[in-house]
Amino acid sequence: MRTEFNFINNLKSKYSLESVGDDCAVLPKDGKTDLVLTADLLVEDIDFRLDWTTPELLGHKALAVSLSDVAAMGANPVWAMLSIGVTERVWKTDFIDRFYEGWFMLAKQFGVELVGGDVSRTPDKIVIDSIGGGGVKRGEAILRSRAQPGDSVFVTGELGGAAGGLMLLESGFRYADTNKKKNELIAKQLRPIPQIAIGKQLSSNGLATAAIDLSDGLSSDLHHLCRASGVGARIYMEDIPVDPNLHELIMPDDARIDLALHGGEDFELLFTGNEENISRLNIPGVMHIGEITANVGIIELTRAGKTTVFHPLGFRHF
Amino acid sequence: MRTEFNFINNLKSKYSLESVGDDCAVLPKDGKTDLVLTADLLVEDIDFRLDWTTPELLGHKALAVSLSDVAAMGANPVWAMLSIGVTERVWKTDFIDRFYEGWFMLAKQFGVELVGGDVSRTPDKIVIDSIGGGGVKRGEAILRSRAQPGDSVFVTGELGGAAGGLMLLESGFRYADTNKKKNELIAKQLRPIPQIAIGKQLSSNGLATAAIDLSDGLSSDLHHLCRASGVGARIYMEDIPVDPNLHELIMPDDARIDLALHGGEDFELLFTGNEENISRLNIPGVMHIGEITANVGIIELTRAGKTTVFHPLGFRHF
């Protein structure tokens, strides 16, 4: 079966779509600024479950996933639109008011203005389309497609926490659990923080050659970046920043590492650039995890001196 | 129960949303141009039925409804994004390829570029969020909110055809029916044509004081326009351009007129302005159907010399 990624690539080539395939589309706005645009569809029981979250957290996450795409371009979020469809039963509750409260809490934090959207009825499930727009200095948006052999590979933050939070939710744990560390994992899943400030820092000094946000998981997203750039990569297992709270989960160490490698929705940034230049920026929490190579499409994973080929096992819808 | 319109008005006032509530948001783009933005959510079995349409026609309509919002601002459509969620069963068919074929046929006609969107899985129904962006000369977008007492009220085209087409579909008729007139009605429902050229003509000469597209139905959309402008209106029944193909439907004349007054989805334009100025434009198919009054929020309907208050009976989700 074709994957969603193949489908989009085919569409791109069939209809000559120049702006499709990055975290955001980049369009000229004025002489000094480019406009970035993104849309993220969230569907009940596919992307979220109502009994695992609250309306406020869902509102937060709906906006956060789009802001994370804006962050991956190194852009500044400016406005958003929100299309939401709910059942008549949900409409009669306070769900939608609480959803917007959570949405606006995050919007306020980043100065994002709601400018439009749509409200619709659905027969069954809740659907949300989160649309984000932002600005970046003309020509300075960080694309997925400019990584070069010899660049180093970096990630922000710690990885696997959101996937660990998902496992806890699946096992019956809930947000506001009394265990602080477990709750931090669940918060990573339900209340991700878009890395806007780091994205802007990376674009404004022009030192990142390519970037993507970690939504599907490190293995998948690194493949996306390498495919777009026509390069390969080598990653050093020992340098992957595994979320320390994952020690709360009773599992073998390797399973924890797998969560960091393949677990989605951390919404951290994965980016490439010259190691010396990036290190000089001294951004807290940025880890150097590997190098870009000329082995087109091949991602290698080095662990205790042994190198294996690393397959994308992250999230995909199809 | 609150309606979706009340909900949006409350949201607008609670969070001081300046740009929400028109057919499109209008944001400054550069010194000469404003950006217009719109989103329309279409949900299977609420907004469309798969056994009534084809994937190509659905792709056409998904784009057309957003282009119609762009037309209502007097703007020129430029780019679009499309978020689409389908079930795994639908993903395995040629539905999505055919959907995009219909979408791109219309996009090509209006020079619209697909710049992004999202593809997702749904547990059950197809959902589509159609996002449109366009440009209009700075300050020349036609808002809903500038109609003045003394303005005349105009509509483009003929009304009620899309609602008549819907009735035919509900009775088992299908697109490509051998009866030409019935088929024209069904085409009005499934393959609406956005009135881009007329919208642009109206904005470029600055003669329309307010405009809205007829998506919910004349009675509802005129109420929206009057509420936004803080005015009322009087409409002359005899001047409403009832779609002549409605004579194909076996029903009393009054029911046909009701389809023209309350039936949604014709995607014609309703606009206001000085009668002499608008008549001088000589736009084919534009009908003068009434006047704007100072009776805030009251729409009167004059028929055979008798005037009654006219209540909005058009489409709403909630």
By CA distance, what is B98's nearest residue in A?
Answer: A11
Q: Which chain B residue is nearest to residue A114, measuring alpha carbons?
A: B17
Q: What's chain B's average pLDDT?
A: 96
**φ and ψ of B231, to 5 deg:** -135, 180
Say if CB B38 and CB B124 are below 8 A apart.
no
pLDDT of amino acid A315? 84
Interface with B, mutate which of A11, A41, A43, A130 (most B CBs under 10 A): A41
Calpha distance A104→A108 (Å, rounded): 6
* Alpha helices (runs of H) in chain B, residue ranges in sequence order: 4-14, 55-72, 88-91, 95-109, 161-170, 180-190, 196-204, 218-229, 253-262, 275-281
ipTM comes to 0.95
* A7-21 pLDDT, tens digit each: 999 999 999 999 999
Q: Which residues of A touch B117 (CB under 8 A)?
A: 20, 39
From B93, which residue of chain A is nearest by alpha-carbon distance?
Answer: A1
Predicted local confidence at residue B176, as pLDDT:
83
Could you count the other beta carbons within 10 Å of the beta carbon of residue A10? 13
Tokens 């979250």, residue?
A: A53
pLDDT of residue A84: 98
B1 has pLDDT over 90: no
| Residue to test with chain B: of A129, A131, A143, A315, most B Cβ within 10 A | A129
Decide: B38 and A82 in contact? Cβ < 8 Å: no
**Least CB-CB distance to A115: which of B7, B25, B104?**
B25
pLDDT at A134 over 80: yes
Kindly tell me if the per-residue pLDDT of A276 is higher than 80: yes
- The residue of chain B with its CA nearest to that of A98 is B11
Which pLDDT score, from 0 to 100, does residue B232 have?
A: 98
Cβ contact, residue pair B30, A31, below 8 Å: yes
Our CA-based measurement puts residue B311 at a distance from the nearest CA of chain A, in whole angstroms, of 22
Asked if pLDDT for residue A260 goes beyond 90, the answer is yes
pLDDT in tens, B52-85: 999 999 999 999 999 999 999 999 999 999 999 9
CB-CB contact of A82 with A129 (8 Å): yes
- In this predicted model, what pLDDT tens digit does every residue of B217-239 receive, in sequence order? 999 999 999 999 999 999 999 99
Q: How confident is the model at residue B42, as a pLDDT?
A: 98
Q: Which of B131, B143, B224 is the best mutation test for A, with the most CBs of A within 10 A?
A: B131
The pLDDT of residue B312 is above 90: no
Q: Which chain B residues contact residue A38 at CB under 8 A? A: 116
Residue that the structure tokens 């105009």 belong to: B154
Confidence (pTM)? 0.96
Q: What percent of chain B has pLDDT over 90?
A: 93
Q: What confidence category does residue B99 fall into, taking pLDDT thresholds of 50, 70 and 90?
A: very high
A83/B39 CB distance under 8 A: yes
For chain A, the average pLDDT equals 96
Q: Which domains does chain A have, with CATH numbers?
A: 4-137 (3.30.1330.10), 152-309 (3.90.650.10)
Q: Do A124 and B124 touch (CB under 8 A)?
A: yes
With 90 as the cut, is the pLDDT of residue A129 above it?
yes
Across the interface, whether the CB atoms of A120 and B92 are under 8 A apart is answered no
pLDDT band at B317, cuts 50/70/90? confident
